[in-house]
Amino acid sequence: MPTFQLESKLKRGETEILVIHCGDYRFQAGFHEFLNDKLNLNQNYDLMVIPGGPLSLTLFEYLPKFSWASWKWLRFFVEKHGIKRLILIQHQDCGFYKTMPAHLHDSAEPRERQEQDLRRAATTMKKDFPGLKVELYYAGWDAPDRVTIDSIPV
């Protein structure tokens, strides 16, 4: 087994930031650029990458085990790492959303459904973790396929 020697060094110190986004390969470079270059996080954040991203935090009734696991992981980071800032990102054309039954949301329009879930997650978060600052974002793309990210009001 070869050993790969990297330029990257272990990050020392602490972080107070947790990011949750989808694992869709099309957006990974965009998410990375947004978090590090636009929000200036300097790679200093915990990260949960799961299908549908923050969606699983809202699935109490439809997929309770998924929801339970997601909250367990989130609680781990918040409590063990002293997380104070939570960044939730949804994205356009999320394949995981297409597996969700339509009745779970007020609207049939995908983006409205995703924004509704982001707000649901933020509302629940305020109850469970009142000291946590929550930021919501929606990623898409423009005509030449550049990734765009909108801030969504909490």
Our CA angle for 114, 124, 133, nearest 5°, is 90
Length of the chain: 154
Pick between residue 15 and residue 90 the one whose CB is nearest to Zn ion.
Answer: 90
- Alpha carbons 149 and 73: distance in angstroms, whole number: 25
Task: Determine phi and psi for 61, rounding to 5 degrees.
Answer: -95, -40
- Alpha carbons 29 and 124: distance in angstroms, whole number: 29
Our finding on whether 55 is near Zn ion (CB under 5 A) is: no
Cα 13 to the center of its chain, rounded Å: 23
Choices 1-9, 20-28, 107-115, 133-141; region in contact with Zn ion by CB under 5 A:
20-28
Choices 87-95, 105-113, 125-133, 139-147; region in contact with Zn ion by CB under 5 A:
87-95
Pick between residue 42 and residue 99 the one whose CB is nearest to Zn ion.
Answer: 99
Pick between residue 24 and residue 46 the one whose CB is nearest to Zn ion.
Answer: 24
Our finding on whether 125 is near Zn ion (CB under 5 A) is: no
- Site of interaction with Zn ion (CB under 5 A): 22, 24, 94
